[in-house]
Structure 1
Amino acid sequence: MKLVEKIKAHGASNPFYTFEFFPPRTDQGFENLISRISRLSALNPLAISITWGAGGSTKERSLDLAGVTQADGLDTILHLTCTNMEQGMVDDALKAAKDRGIQNILALRGDPPRGEEEWTPVDARFTHGADLVAYIRSLPEYSSQFCIGVAAYPDGHTGQLHDERAEIGLLKAKVDAGADFIVTQLFYDVDGFLQWVGKVREAGITVPIIPGIMPIQTYSSFLRLTKLCGTTVPESVMAALEPIRTDDQLVKDYGVQLAVSMIRRLTTEGKISGVHLCTLNLEKSVQRVLEGLKWTGSSESVHNKLIEEVSAQNELTVTPSSAASSAKHGLANIPVVEGAAFRGEPTNAATWDDFPNGRFGDFKSPAFGSSGPWGGPAIGRTEVMSQCGHPRRLDDLTRIFLDYLHSKILITPFSPAPLSPESLMILPHLERLTQRGWWTVGSQPAVDGKSSSDAVVGWGPRAGYVFQKGFVEFFCAADEVDVIERRTLERGNGWVHWFAGNKDGEFRGNVPQGGRNAVTWGVFPGQEIAQTTIIERESFLSWKDEAFSIWSEWASFYRPQSEERKLLESVRDERWLVSIVHHDYRNPNALWTFLFDETG
Structure 2
Amino acid sequence: MKVIDKIKDHGPSNPFYTFEFFPPRTDQGFDNLVARIERLSDLNPLAVSITWGAGGSTKERSLDLAAVTQAEYGLDTILHLTCTNMEQGMVDDALKAAKERGIQSILALRGDPPRGEEEWTPTDLRFTHGADLVSYIRSLPEYSSQFCIGVAAYPDGHTGQLHDERAEISFLKAKIDAGADFIVTQLFYDVDGFLQWVRKVREAGITVPIIPGIMPIQTYSSFLRLTKLCGTRVPDSVMDALEPIRNDDQLVKDYGVQLAVEMIKRLTTEGGIPGVHLCTLNLEKSVQRVLENLKWTGSSEIAKNKLIEEAPTQNDLTITASSATSSAKLGLATLPTIEGEAGRGELNNAASWDDFPNGRFGDFKSPAFGSTGLWGGPAIGHADIIAQCGHPRTLDDLTAIFLAYLHSKIPITPFSPAPLSPESLMILPHLERLTRRGWWTVGSQPAIDGASSGDEVVGWGPRAGYVFQKGFVEFFCTKADVDATERRVRERGNGWVHWFAGNKNGECRGNVPEGGRNAVTWGVFPGQEIAQTTIIERASFLSWKEEAFSIWSEWASLYKPQSKERILLENVCDERWLVSIVHHDYRNTQALWTFLFDDSPIAA
Which TM-score band (shorter chain)?
over 0.9
AA aligned to 2:257 is: V
Residue deviations 1:216-271 (CA, integer Å, cap 9, x gap): 11111111111111111111111111111111111111111111111111011111
From the superposition, tell whether residues 379 and 489 of structure 1 become closer, same or farther in structure 2 (CA, over 3 Å). Answer: same
- CA distance in 2 between counterparts of 1:401 and 1:369 reads 24
Change (3 A) 1:374 1:210: farther
Q: Indicate the residue corresponding to 2:18 in structure 1.
A: 18
Which residue is equivalent to 1:410? 411
Given that 1:445 and 1:469 are in contact with CA atoms closer than 8 Å, whether structure 2 keeps it comes out as yes
Which structure 2 segments of 5+ residues have no match?
A: 313-334
Instruction: Tell me the CA shift for residue 457 of structure 1.
Output: 0.3
Report if aligned partners of 1:98, 1:145 keep a CA contact under 8 Å in 2.
yes
Deviations 1:291-310 (A, max 9, x none): 121112466x5433334456
Q: For 1:128 and 1:474, how far apart are their aligned partners in 2? A: 40
CA distance in 2, matches of 1:169, 1:147: 21
Letter in 2 for 1:223: L
Q: Which residue of 1 aligns with 2:105?
A: 104
Given that 1:228 and 1:376 are in contact with CA atoms closer than 8 Å, whether structure 2 keeps it comes out as no
Within a 5 Å distance, the mapping from 1:425-440 to structure 2 comes to 425-440=426-441
Residue equivalent to 1:172: 173
**CA drift at 1:375:** 5.0
Give matches, 1:156-555, under 5 Å: 156-297=157-298, 301-308=301-308, 337=338, 341-345=342-346, 349-374=350-375, 378-555=379-556
Per-residue CA deviations over 1:302-335 (Å, capped at 9, x if unaligned) read: 43333445699xxxxxxxxxxxxxxxxxxxxx99
Aligned partners of 1:112 and 1:377 also within 8 Å:
no
Summarize the alignment of residues 130-149 of structure 1 with structure 2, pairs less than 5 Å apart: 130-149=131-150
Q: How far, CA to CA, are the matches of 1:431 and 1:132 in structure 2?
A: 49
8 Å Cα contact 1:246/1:455 also seen in 2: yes
Q: Distance in 1 between matches of 2:347 and 2:585?
A: 21
Write the letter of the residue equivalent to 2:10.
Answer: H
Summarize deviations over 1:26-64 as a string: whole Å, max 9, x none. 000000000111111111111110000000000000000
Using the TM superposition, name which of 231-240 and 469-478 deviates more.
231-240
Partner of 1:591: 592
Corresponding letter in the other structure for 2:45: P
Partner of 1:57: 57
Q: 576-585 or 525-534: which moved more? A: 525-534
Residues 358 and 533 of structure 1 are in contact (CA less than 8 Å); yes or no, is this contact kept in structure 2? Answer: no
| SS of 2:467 mapped into structure 1 | strand
What is the DSSP-based 3-state SS (H/G/I as helix, E as strand, rest coil) of the residue aligned with 1:9?
coil
Task: Name the CA distance, whole Å, in 2 between partners of 1:67 and 1:483.
Answer: 48
Q: What residue is the counterpart of 1:94 in the other structure?
A: 95
Q: Over residues 369-396 of structure 1, what are the superposed CA-to-partner deviations in whole Å (9 max), with x where a residue is unaligned?
A: 1143355761011111111111111111
1:572 corresponds to: 573
Give 1:161 shift. Answer: 0.8
Q: CA contact under 8 A between 1:111 and 1:377: conserved in structure 2?
A: no
Pairwise CA distance, 1:350: 4.3
Q: Which residue of 1 aligns with 2:321?
A: none
Aligned residues: 578
Contact persistence 1:347–1:528 (CA under 8 A): no
Relative distance call for 1:177 and 1:19 in structure 2 (3 A) is same
Q: Which residue of 1 aligns with 2:44?
A: 44
Q: Return the alpha-carbon distance in structure 1 between the equivalents of residues 336 and 254 of structure 2.
A: 28
- The 8 Å contact of residues 306 and 336 in structure 1, kept in 2 or not, is answered as no
TM (norm. structure 1) is: 0.94
- 2:260 is matched by which residue type in structure 1? A
Cross-structure match for 1:320: none
User: Helix, strand or coil for the counterpart of 1:277?
Assistant: strand
Could you tell me the TM-score, scaled by structure 2's length?
A: 0.93
| Letter in structure 1 aligned against 2:54 | A
Describe the SS at the equivalent of 1:544. helix
Change beyond 3 A, Cα 1:266–1:297: same
DSSP-derived class of the 1:83 partner: coil
Q: Report the counterpart of residue 328 of structure 1 in structure 2.
A: none
Structure 1 unaligned spans of 5+? 313-333
Give the equivalent residue in structure 2 for 1:124: 125
CA RMSD of aligned residues (A): 1.7
